[in-house]
């Protein structure tokens, strides 16, 4: 879903069920992961993931840490 006044650069890829806030600019060749929630501008070439959307690498690290913490708490 794209809100009003979203500006998309060339070659942008947006996964299904992603949401992009109004008055946001997505730079050239940026990738928005499925189900992500973009709340601010995205620089060209960046890959964003999660809700709220962060750089994919940071989001994946957060998910890995949370999984580790959950597994440790079950012991």
Domains delineated in the chain: 7-73 (2.160.10.10)
Q: Is there a contact between 65 and 47 (Cβ–Cβ < 8 Å)? A: no
Strand-pair category, 37-38 with 19-20: parallel
Write the pLDDT tens digit of every residue in 5-52. 999 999 999 999 999 999 999 999 999 999 999 999 999 999 999 999
User: Would you mind telling me the total number of residues written for the chain in this entry?
Assistant: 75
Q: What is the pLDDT of residue 41?
A: 98
Which pTM value belongs to this model?
0.91
Q: Is there a contact between 48 and 27 (Cβ–Cβ < 8 Å)? A: no
**Which contiguous run of DSSP H or E holds residue 7?**
strand 7-8
Q: What is the pLDDT of residue 74?
A: 87
Q: What is the pLDDT of residue 75?
A: 78
Backbone angles phi, psi at 48, to 5 degrees: -115, 145
């Amino acid at each position: 879903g794209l809100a009003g006044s979203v500006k998309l650069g060339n070659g942008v890829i947006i996964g299904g069920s992603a949401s992009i806030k109004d008055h946001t600019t997505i730079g050239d060749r940026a990738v928005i992961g499925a189900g992500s929630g973009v709340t601010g501008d995205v620089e060209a070439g960046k890959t964003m993931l999660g809700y709220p959307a962060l750089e994919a690498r940071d989001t994946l690290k957060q998910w890995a840490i949370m999984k580790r913490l959950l597994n440790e708490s079950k012991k």
